[in-house]
Structure 1
Amino acid sequence: MALLPPRWSYSVLKAVAEVLADTSDGLTGREISDLLLRLRMEDPAPNATKRERLTEAFVARQNKDLSSKRIITFIVTAMEPVRYRRQPELFTLRQDRLNEHLVFVGMRVNDEGKVAKGPIAQTLDEASRIASSIRDELHRRKCHSEVLRYCSLEVLKKSHFHACFEATKSIFDRIRGLSGASGDGAALVDAALALGQSGVPLLAINLLQTQTDKDEQTGFANLVKGLNGLYRNPMAHDPRINRRITDDELLEVLTMVSMVHRRLDGVSKTSGGSS
């Protein structure tokens, strides 16, 4: 006879309930009612807030079973992928948030929505390292808000190809906004960032007083062109199935795009421009 999964602490039960009953991204009150009824779980606090209600339901059931088995069943039922066919990003969001807490009991929600065994964390540092998702890692790296604004949905959908594409497009959209120049790609970079014959670009990332300053400006322009040539242009023409982006590459690309946006934060607009 298989051993029943052990009981979880009140803190873990409460944390899981808070994710699933989150005010903004959690289950609705009706969905909670339907799931409790379907799984034949007592609803001891039907008039409480969603979070308190689900917490009390978890506690009551675990006390009855002396096991977390029915709470695991609730999670699996709530995370059935078919529920998220129109909102795959919501699945990933809940999955990531659940895993931040389940790591303390050596479990995780996998991509099939099942609760599986995983490494167990004893400390907050261990939990952060084990449960960290791409979204969490980007926040840990303090990724620029412009990057997240343009591609957070693609990151949550785990669409790495489109996340890289949208992130690199954000650079050129921002350059147009800061400089007032039109165009796109390398031509836009030349118009807004290149020294040109006048030696004064529309957007200067430094004082341009020394040769080092000018070299840095040119290097920055070339870096933006490089990102355009390496990611944006190919992705605009190649089918997604022909271009696989790994988790590590996605983080590296978004970190680089974040760095570009931070340099753009400090640009000054001049009266010059390439000629």
Structure 2
Amino acid sequence: MKQIDEICVEKITRILGDLVTGNTITELLAKNHWKDHDTESKSPIYSTKWRRLKASMIYEINRNHAPTPFFKLIEEIMNPASFSRDEQELWNCNLTEINFTLSFYGYELNDAGKVVSIKPSTTFNEAFNRSQNLIDKLRKNNVHEKVILYCTPELLDENYFHAILEASKSVLERIRELTNSTLDGNTLINEAFKAKNPAIVIHGNLLENDNDKSQYLGLKSLLNTICYFYRNPTAHSPKMFNEQNEDDAITAFLLISMAHQKLDNCFTVRFLD
């Protein structure tokens, strides 16, 4: 893994400097007991924000013989909780720019705002493609937020096998919540979507004609397919999908997202337990 150097620190502190005020920098450095070259000198220097951050981080990295303070600074300024709902684009743009640089050094800032280790990028295109992380791609395809919520840690490690497993489990958990049930798997789905005695129904679907019944059966089949393909342990084999292939993962997430979107239009008529 490549050692964090001055080039890396400068590129990222230029990004971070645009996200904070001078007073915030003063508070951050004081809170973490990091050297503040501006305020600690006999005559205040009043550096630009990014230069002030860079000077402090270079000093702290050398003092600690580790990039830990630098990573903590990134995590504090890029804390997702610090960004409002209207700042999603701002968050994503800065995340992409930071990760483009970090990827050459074997690190990445994940969607939870934590710096994690990854396989280092060796080319410009590799770094660029990785910085366009999978979550961005899923959001561009309008993947349901519940899918992303359940599998974010796995996604950012590019652990598609476990990400798909967690996402598929989210569908079953949602059906359990709707039906107040402790059942699991295909048993849960088949009990909740009995056409003659349903626990869950689709808004506007009275199951009175062939079209209504076909729509209802289609949703039930979709849920069972997700369970058979991605949830049941025996279904997890390389024959079903390549767990290292991003395209296969996106296909699975789109299918699971469709299930959540359909469940958004459903309501409970009876509990199973």
TM-score range, shorter chain: 0.5 to 0.7
Paired residue for 1:44?
Answer: 38
Q: Take 1:187 and 1:115, find their aligned partners in 2: how far apart are those partners?
A: 45
Tell me the TM-score normalised to structure 2 length: 0.59
Paired residue for 1:118?
Answer: 124
Q: Take 1:213 and 1:201, find their aligned partners in 2: how far apart are those partners?
A: 13
Deviation at 1:245, TM superposition (A): 3.8
| Residues 212-234 of structure 1: CA deviation (Å, up to 9, x unaligned) | 12111111111111111111113
Paired residue for 1:250?
Answer: 249
Residue 60 to residue 151, structure 1, CA distance change in 2 (3 Å) = closer
Q: Is the 8 A contact 1:107 1:118 kept in 2?
A: no
Where 2:142 maps in the other structure, the secondary structure is coil
Aligned: 1:152 with 2:168: no
Q: Take 1:251 and 1:45, find their aligned partners in 2: how far apart are those partners?
A: 50
Residue 13 to residue 272, structure 1, CA distance change in 2 (3 Å) = closer
Which structure 1 residue ranges, 5 or more long, are not aligned?
Answer: 22-27, 37-41, 62-69, 120-126
Q: Take 1:20 and 1:112, find their aligned partners in 2: how far apart are those partners?
A: 26
Q: Take 1:175 and 1:138, find their aligned partners in 2: how far apart are those partners?
A: 23
Tell me the TM-score normalised to structure 1 length: 0.59
Residue 60 to residue 79, structure 1, CA distance change in 2 (3 Å) = closer
Paired residue for 1:25?
Answer: none
Aligned: 1:202 with 2:196: no
Where 1:189 maps in the other structure, the secondary structure is helix
Deviation at 1:148, TM superposition (A): 2.3
Q: Is the 8 A contact 1:179 1:203 kept in 2?
A: yes
Q: Is the 8 A contact 1:107 1:115 kept in 2?
A: no
Paired residue for 1:55?
Answer: 50
Deviation at 1:255, TM superposition (A): 2.1
Paired residue for 2:96?
Answer: 100
How many equivalent pairs are there? Answer: 219
Q: Is the 8 A contact 2:199 2:271 kept in 1?
A: yes
Deviation at 1:158, TM superposition (A): 2.5
Paired residue for 2:133?
Answer: 133
Q: Take 2:52 and 2:199, find their aligned partners in 1: how far apart are those partners?
A: 62
Q: Is the 8 A contact 2:189 2:224 kept in 1?
A: yes
Q: Take 1:167 and 1:270, find their aligned partners in 2: how far apart are those partners?
A: 25
Q: Take 1:147 and 1:46, find their aligned partners in 2: how far apart are those partners?
A: 48
Deviation at 1:187, TM superposition (A): 0.9
Query: Cα RMSD over matched residues?
Result: 5.0
| Residues 195-243 of structure 1: CA deviation (Å, up to 9, x unaligned) | 1xx2x4211124123311211111111111111111111368779xx96
Q: Is the 8 A contact 2:105 2:121 kept in 1?
A: no
Q: Take 1:46 and 1:118, find their aligned partners in 2: how far apart are those partners?
A: 39
Paired residue for 1:259?
Answer: 258
Q: Take 1:175 and 1:99, find their aligned partners in 2: how far apart are those partners?
A: 34
Paired residue for 1:172?
Answer: 172
Residue 209 to residue 138, structure 1, CA distance change in 2 (3 Å) = same
Q: Is the 8 A contact 2:160 2:246 kept in 1?
A: yes
Identity across matched positions, percent: 21
Residue 112 to residue 189, structure 1, CA distance change in 2 (3 Å) = same
**Structure 1, 107-116 or 138-147: larger mean CA deviation:** 107-116
Deviation at 1:100, TM superposition (A): 2.0
Deviation at 1:179, TM superposition (A): 1.7
| Residues 46-99 of structure 1: CA deviation (Å, up to 9, x unaligned) | 79xxxx9861336779xxxxxxxx8xx99xx7489xx89xxxx99xx99x8766
Letter in 2 for 1:191: E
